[in-house]
Amino acid sequence: MISQAELISDVEDPMALFEDWINAAKKTEPNDFDAMSLATATPEGFPSVRMVLLKGLGPEGFVFYTNKESRKGEQISKNPRAALCFHWKTLRRQIRIEGNLSEVGADLADQYFSTRSRESCLAAWAAAQSRPMSNRQEFENLYRENEEKFRGRAIGRPSYWSGFCLSPCMIEFWLDLPHRMHDRLCFTRDDTGWTSRRLYP
């Protein structure tokens, strides 16, 4: 049978446990330890999912950045609820998160945008994310136009590009164990704080 030492540690704060797990992933994952699937949905309930990168973490929640006029941006504006999933194959661990979304402040978005490479900033200006283009050359032409526009000066953040913070109401930790005897520890939050319970795998 599985020993107690092999199970997920009993803790009171899921955010602290998340930090422990993602720091472990940073040491073991060959690429994009901070990659997470982001699931959003239309007001009618049609879901869509894609991979994004975690770019901020704090007591308030999990932060990522995107074009607000993209498909996910439009879904978020109409239905500001989402789910995240981290999966680290080398560690045999997964974390599922659900919660509400809110846009980060302009100062924080500006601060993060300024850390991106110049090329990535130009791409943000050139890409009408999720909308059709006639061909690849159209995108590359827009990139070059913006390259010329911003030549010799700083590239500011486009008004349609910002960040969102997912404030979690549920965080579930999953640990792969032999013979499908997996361990699941689920935290839910209400006005009084976090409570946890183990779930059958």
The first and second tokens of residue 63, run together, are 């932060």
C-alpha 27 chain-centroid distance:
19
Q: Kindly give the residue spans of alpha helices, DSSP state H, lying in 79-162.
A: 106-113, 118-126, 136-149
pLDDT classification of 4: cutoffs 50, 70, 90? low
Domain boundaries, the chain: 4-114+162-199, 115-156
Question: pLDDT tens, 123-164?
Answer: 999 888 888 888 999 889 989 999 999 999 999 999 999 999
CA distances in angstroms from 100 to 15, 35, 76, listed in the order given: 16, 19, 10
CATH architecture group of domain 4-114+162-199: Roll (2.30)
pTM: 0.92
* Phi, psi (degrees; rounded to nearest 5) at 187: -110, 135
pLDDT classification of 21: cutoffs 50, 70, 90? very high
